[in-house]
Structure 1
Amino acid sequence: MCLGERRLTALVQQPPLVLTYHKGALLQGDLLVNVVWYGHFTAVQRSIVGDFIASLSQKGKEKSPAVSSWWELTEEYSAKAGRPSTTNVLLGKQVVDEKCSLGKSLKRTQIKDLAAKAVAFNGITLVLTSKDVAVEGFCMSSCGLHDSAPLAKGLKEKFAYIWVGNSETQCPGQCAWPFHQPLYGPQTPPLVAPNGDVGVDGMIINIASLLAGTVTNPFGNGYFQGAATAPMEAASACPGMYGKNAYPGYAGDLLVDSASGASYNANGVNGR
């Protein structure tokens, strides 16, 4: 598919707010997202992620249904907490560690070290690992995570960070569905990836979900249900549901690009 026709996946509109607010901080206002690229990513792959981040706050500049319309739902959580505010997501600095300075087998504690290379004040650091980098727990228990860490040793103030891995060669059936045959459950045919890259399109799904969870529960005392150690957060209440009439093994009624046959459910910037 040519670059001008690529589409970005996002998330289906969520059901009414059912998460409990635990009186903690929320991320609001101008939200800078710094990116750490760990391992090899092509220029095209970086542009896919960059355009998705840019699409979150491009209100009125995209065809409907728009990525920005989905993102506006996060502002409802702020309003419900008595803190009405617009959350404008801005792409910040990007750090490239293509030679994998910490090796190609990472512990989760090392994700925090990588995030510290690009701390975003009143923002989020996004750590992305390439398809040949193994991360503790990846594929076995998660496709990514979000957490927080002190800005510096001895300080109480924290910064929020996200990690997402490229599952293309490790577990696409778990972390890149519906663009790859699922590992378990109904074996329905995979959908055509909107950007022609199963691994990175799967990353976009996980980045979207974790961004929503981070903004509404950045430090573990925001919006969530269940135990704080294993919370159900915004966008995680309906996993695998990307359109109307979704059910296990079926992602939902999605839009289909007439030229490429790719499935998508939201429009982003630059024709994504």
Structure 2
Amino acid sequence: MASRQGSSPVLSSALALVLLTSCVFPASALPRRLTTLVKGPALTPKYQSGPLLKGTVTVDLVWYGRFSPSQRAIIVDFFRSFTGKPVSGPSVASWWSTTGAYGSGGTAAISLGSQINDETYSLGKSLKSADLVTLARKAGARAGVAVVLTSADVAVEGFCVSRCGTHGQRRPGSPFIWVGNSETQCPGQCAWPFHQPIYGSQTPPLVAPNGDVGVDGMVINLAALLAGTATNPFGNGYFQGAKEAPLEAASACQGIFGAEAYPGYPGKLLADDATGGTYNANGLEGRRYLLPAMWDPRTSRCSPLV
């Protein structure tokens, strides 16, 4: 059973900081980084005439570091929920359907491909941006999106300081995403609202729907970056602002998860009556997730699931 959770906390004048970066790695260029405050009104991504991801998109996972079986299952079930059998209520699939309103060709069908495990930390526990590209290339040469996931004990250049994740190209025309587990490094920045923010009102955090602050936070960032990859895969799709620091489909709506959201308050959400976990999307195998609002080009506004 689920109940509606909706009481609004009283905010201080400071804004809650949520970091999320969309990065592109053109040849011999530095990654693009973006640090933004959660505030309104949301900006409007505009189409820059470039290609989008449509049709069947295979996602290959590269696990770097040590993840428990339960942590892996949370993320694997998230990707399986894009095209699995329908579930009732707001769902991962219905959230993703908004990307189909970007351009023509409908909604991309996400298919989970291979999984590569690097539990020996082959590149060490302190990674540079170029190392992320190296890891993404381990996913092979086929078309699709490589997703690099780094464990909580891995430090990555810019992580927590200016970004929670990135998306770019592992080679020309081949996208990749990286997201790190922030649980022990910066949960107030990269796992909000499941942890108190480092700035703003210090209201109690929400309960992570799958019981793992770090990995449930990773899902939020994965979702936002996957939406950005589908709608702006090569830096010339849909975005707002400077090309070097674009606001994309979900990052244009940062901090918005439910209706009536405002800075520091994620909005009215659903709560599991048994666990207290807060969510807005149902997935396969009874999973529940919290996913960011997306800018909907049909209504020209940020549209949360609930």
What TM-score, normalized by structure 1, do the two folds share? 0.88
Q: Once structures 1 and 2 are overlaid, which stretch shifts more, 85-94 or 113-122? A: 113-122
Taking the aligned partners of 2:155 and 2:248, their CA distance within structure 1 comes to: 26
Task: Give aligned pairs, total.
Answer: 248
Taking the aligned partners of 2:234 and 2:261, their CA distance within structure 1 comes to: 31
The answer to whether 1:252 aligns with 2:270 is: no
The answer to whether 1:125 aligns with 2:146 is: yes
Higher helix share: 1
Give the letter aligned to residue 239 of structure 1. Answer: Q
Give how far 1:226 is off. 1.0
Give how far 1:173 is off. 0.4
Assess, with a 3 A threshold, how the Cα gap between structure 1 residues 100 and 214 changes in structure 2: closer, same or farther.
Answer: same
Taking the aligned partners of 1:262 and 1:132, their CA distance within structure 2 comes to: 25
State the SS of the aligned residue for 2:228: helix
Taking the aligned partners of 1:234 and 1:121, their CA distance within structure 2 comes to: 26
Alignment partner of 2:155 out of 134, 147, 153: 134
The answer to whether 1:193 aligns with 2:208 is: yes
The answer to whether 1:223 aligns with 2:238 is: yes
Structure 1: segments with no counterpart, 5+ residues: 6-14, 151-156
Structure 1 match to 2:13: none
Give how far 1:123 is off. 1.5
Give the letter aligned to residue 21 of structure 1. Answer: Y
Alignment partner of 1:158 out of 169, 173, 183: 173
Give how far 1:16 is off. 10
- Listed one character per residue, the Cα deviations across residues 33-92 of structure 1 (whole Å, up to 9, x for unaligned) are 00000000011111100111111223x6111111111100001002xxxx2233110111
**In percent, how many aligned pairs have the same letter?**
60
Taking the aligned partners of 1:120 and 1:172, their CA distance within structure 2 comes to: 34
Is the contact between residue 196 and residue 202 of structure 2 (CA under 8 Å) also seen in structure 1? yes
State the SS of the aligned residue for 1:237: helix
Give the letter aligned to residue 77 of structure 1. Answer: Y
Moved over 6 A (4+): none
Structure 1 match to 2:49: 23
Structure 2 match to 1:146: 167
Taking the aligned partners of 1:97 and 1:31, their CA distance within structure 2 comes to: 23
Alignment partner of 2:90 out of 65, 73, 84: 65
Structure 2: segments with no counterpart, 5+ residues: 3-40, 288-306
What TM-score, normalized by structure 2, do the two folds share? 0.78
Structure 1 match to 2:118: 97
